[in-house]
Amino acid sequence: AQKVTQAQTEISVVEKEDVTLDCVYETRDTTYYLFWYKQPPSGELVFLIRRNSFDEQNEISGRYSWNFQKSTSSFNFTITASQVVDSAVYFCALSERVNKLVFGAGTILRVKS
Amino acid sequence: DSGVTQTPKHLITATGQRVTLRCSPRSGDLSVYWYQQSLDQGLQFLIQYYNGEERAKGNILERFSAQQFPDLHSELNLSSLELGDSALYFCASSVAGNEQFFGPGTRLTVL
């Protein structure tokens, strides 16, 4: 069965701090896909990144970076030099054979100025 | 803007009623997915359609049904509504095998 665990319910940081959001997943498939989505206060779900199980290269996009480690079944997300606009709920999700997404419970990130 | 549109944005109705939520996928996307987001259950997959055919089903109640039309838009029908059906309903679309892009959601309130 698929499962995604985001153990951090809520994180508060001060602007310019770095913050890492944890994601641990469970799957029996050898081929799977991992995602991060952002849900700002306005409510929409914004796609951030997709990672394939056979590609363990870490990725950086501006202030965002992702660390994928198959050995620990983790796909962590780091925001460098956080900004108030980063305040949102962040969801990690898993998909087997690219169909339905199984989401974690989400981590609320509050960035204070 | 993801390119996925959903109507209406808000819906308030009474228990026992039936409502229809509408979704238009991004241009070129053949897959449409429906998700429910509630405080107690989180984000849950309901159902997927691909080019008009049902492809996958999640924990969708028997009172709920969906379809995808030849123009690829999709509708989610919720009937015999209960208080617990109050939630944010998202539609997402994708090109087969790729990331899903979500619409703005329909917030359903059942009174």
Nearest CB to B102 within list A44, A99, A106: A44
| Residues B64-76: tens digit of each pLDDT | 999 999 999 999 9
pLDDT band at A58 (very low <50, low <70, confident <90, very high): confident
> Which residues lie closer than 8 Å to A92 by C-beta, 6 or more apart?
A4, A6, A21, A23, A25, A34, A35, A36, A75, A77, A103, A104
Contacts of residue A98 in chain B, CB cutoff 8 Å? 94, 96-98
CA distance A93 to B37: 14
Contacts of residue B35 in chain A, CB cutoff 8 Å? 101
**Residue A7 CA: distances (Å) to CA of A36, B3, B62:** 15, 32, 32
Residues 48-107 of A with CB under 8 A from B: 50, 91, 98-106
CA distance A63 to A108: 18
Reply yes or no: is the peptide bond before residue B8 cis, omega within 30 of 0.
yes
- Render B11-47 in DSSP notation, one character per residue: EEE-TT--EEEEEEPPTT--EEEEEEEETTTEEEEEE
B39 touches chain A (CB under 8 A): no
Average pLDDT of every residue of chain B = 95
pLDDT band at A53 (very low <50, low <70, confident <90, very high): very high
Neighbours of A87 (CB within 10 A): 16
Nearest residue to A11 (alpha-carbon basis) of A111, A78, A84, A105: A111
User: Are the CB atoms for A38 and A90 separated by under 8 Å?
Assistant: yes
Residue A72 φ/ψ, nearest 5 degrees: -110, 5
Provide mean pLDDT across the span A29-58: 93
Helix%, strand%, coil% for chain B, nearest 5: 5, 55, 45
pLDDT band at A55 (very low <50, low <70, confident <90, very high): confident
Residues for chain B: how many in total? 111
User: Are the CB atoms for A11 and A19 separated by under 8 Å?
Assistant: yes
pLDDT of residue A81: 97
Contacts of residue B103 in chain A, CB cutoff 8 Å? 44
pLDDT of residue B97: 67
Beta-bridged to residue B53, according to DSSP, are: B50
